[in-house]
Structure 1
Amino acid sequence: MTIVFHASGRPNPAIDWKRPLGGVGLAAALLLTGAPIADVVADTPNSGVGGPGGLASHRTLYEFSLAESGARGGLESISGTMSAEWSHDCEGWTIAQTVDMVLYDRMGGAIEIASTYATWEAFDGSSFSFRLAQDSDVTGSQTLRGTATRRDGNDGGEGRVAVEYRSPTEGSETLPAGIIFPVAHTVELIERAAAGEPFYAATVFDGTEMDWEQKGSAFDISATVSAAGLQAGPETGSETDERIDDSLREAEAWRIVLAHFSSDAELMSPEFQTTMRLFGNGVADRLALDYGDFVVDATLTELERLPEPSCEG
């Protein structure tokens, strides 16, 4: 999950506001109101037609609450929502996410957070377009926008990824072969979980690092997988909610813990961790975002199946 924000009041010194609160562990899809989808798709080079990797097109809404906060976290409570959508055309996945969050500290201050994040990712992993917008009293207004293209052996790239940034300033970088994009990471994680593998490590580029020239633009993500005690469907003893399509929670599921590290980090501890119940169709619930000094719960309150496009012919 990537959180982009407008901040007011006194920023919590325990939080690095120059980093998005979240990460690629919650890749959430495009076509959402407020995200510049047309611009993103227009930036993306043509790619070969592939398949959706078994993921279901769907829309979700999560409600935030504060699970715990240590002395350095300094938070009294958290409120807000995250809406996310996975969808696809006949060549790739679109991802969009919006976040509205308010963090209340123990001294009576509050920080309001709002975000938009949009991507398009080719099924075959050949290209990826991204747009991340930020506007806050802490970092000012920023927009990160660009495309990433995987080179083939014909141009000597040997699978390396060429990233072209269009804003906030024009620039470029080349990432090593082996780096994958967010939806490909989700598909691979599900395949490995289904095969019974308990651990999966990958380096992922998601287009969310504003300071990519100084900090590096990719995340190293280590996933721990467990199926112990998990059940498909709603929570035990919970009432039926017409806002949640539980047919999307009938697939096999696993408890996933994603530990996120900056690719240039020397520390052994992750920047943050995401815990979730992940279904084989890509739906996620029971989310917890652990930033070390505080933990945020994201409870699924709405889940809707979206129509799949007809791509025959």
Structure 2
Amino acid sequence: MVHIGKGRALAIATVAATTVVLGAGVVPAGASGALQPHRAVYDLALADTSQAAGVSGVRGRMVYEFTGGPCEGYSVSFRFVTQVSDEGGNVRVTDLQTSSFEEPAGKAFQFVSKTFVNQKLSEETHGRAEHKSSAIALDLKKPAAEEVTLPGNALFPTEHLTRLIENASNGKPIFVADIFDGSDSGQKIYETTAVIGLKRDGPGAAEKDDPKAVETIGGHRHWPVTISYFDGSGDHTGERTPIYQLSFLLYENGISRRLLLDYGDFELRGNLVELTPIDATPCKD
């Protein structure tokens, strides 16, 4: 039975959903290029599969809500549900529920996630991570209470997207960085390589996304982006194969659409079906 594991689902959904700008370079809400807090709904379906995958069908939905403001930080809450059927007729429903808060300038990252498999709690992670002199100080509450130091300068999700959009805006086609997102028992660091395509003006053709939702994004410039994820542990010699890849259209106001989640032996397509703008939290005087 093929299983879309928590780590893969969380990392992919995090990047797909939290395509936002946060950090020292962020501009005040309402200014050109500012983030647009919003609620987005994506329908998921099987795009392609190989016989080795043993997958006969996949369907699901991702609901993502991004709130907050540039001065207080941003909160993300989303639910990522997939129903996977194999060739033997077995069905597995995975329900990933997460919430997180990232402080301004990527100083600290709080995260809570729960994974249910066929309505039974399978995994739960709860913790807080903070940048500390070329390392991440991690205070985990679940799955077990412990304090861990992760070496290196891994970026938190919204901090990573800040750099990604900066690179896109400056016409740089490649961006390499490590990411910590709280997945895989809260101690996983991914190495990533992002390939950024040429800038496109306006919202672009809706294709399989909902035309009204695409229109709601507005006439912002955007870029096609593909991010490859690699295991940050183990032997790094020789040519490496990514664990998975995420492709999407990234808009400068922090919204993404036309998702393609490539797990290697099968692919999921995520279509934007609903988009609701939310007012940003204003900065205090």
| TM, length-normalised to structure 2 | 0.85
Q: Which residue of 2 aligns with 1:260?
A: 229
- 2:250 maps to 1:278: yes
Equivalent pairs: percent with the same residue? Answer: 24
Q: Which residue of 1 aligns with 2:205?
A: 235
Task: State the Cα distance separating 1:138 from its structure 2 match.
Answer: 12
- 2:63 maps to 1:73: no
Q: Which residue of 2 aligns with 1:304?
A: 276
Matches of 1:177 and 1:125, distance apart in 2: 15
* Counterpart contact for 1:59–1:83, Cα < 8 Å: yes
Which of 1 and 2 has higher RCO (CA within 8 Å, sep 6+)?
2
- 2:58 maps to 1:83: no
More strand by share: 2
Pairing of 1:4-23 with structure 2 (within 5 A): 11-12=1-2, 15=3, 17=5, 19-23=7-11
* Counterpart contact for 2:92–2:118, Cα < 8 Å: no
SS in 1 for 2:105: coil
The CA RMSD over aligned residues, in Å, is 2.7
1:227-262 deviation digits (Å, cap 9, x = unpaired): 27x4532526789744x2624242111110000112
In structure 2, relative to structure 1, the CA distance for the partners of 1:166 and 1:250 (3 Å cut) is same
Matches of 1:274 and 1:237, distance apart in 2: 18
SS in 1 for 2:52: coil
Pairing of 1:1-313 with structure 2 (within 5 A): 11-12=1-2, 15=3, 17=5, 19-23=7-11, 24-28=14-18, 54-89=34-69, 90-136=71-117, 141-151=122-132, 158-210=133-185, 212=187, 217-227=188-198, 230=200, 232-235=202-205, 241-242=211-212, 244=213, 246-266=215-235, 268-313=240-285
In structure 2, relative to structure 1, the CA distance for the partners of 1:306 and 1:265 (3 Å cut) is farther
In structure 2, relative to structure 1, the CA distance for the partners of 1:239 and 1:286 (3 Å cut) is closer
Matches of 2:149 and 2:209, distance apart in 1: 50
1:43-63 deviation digits (Å, cap 9, x = unpaired): xxxxx9x86783211110000
* Counterpart contact for 1:245–1:305, Cα < 8 Å: no
Task: State the Cα distance separating 1:84 from its structure 2 match.
Answer: 0.5
Would you identify which runs of 4 or more consecutive aligned residues in structure 1 move more than 4 Å? 50-53, 137-140, 236-242
| TM, length-normalised to structure 1 | 0.78
Give structure 2 stretches of 5+ with no counterpart: none
Give structure 1 stretches of 5+ with no counterpart: 1-10, 30-47, 152-157
What residue identity is the alignment partner of 1:195?
N
* Counterpart contact for 1:28–1:97, Cα < 8 Å: no
How many residues end up aligned between the 2 structures?
270
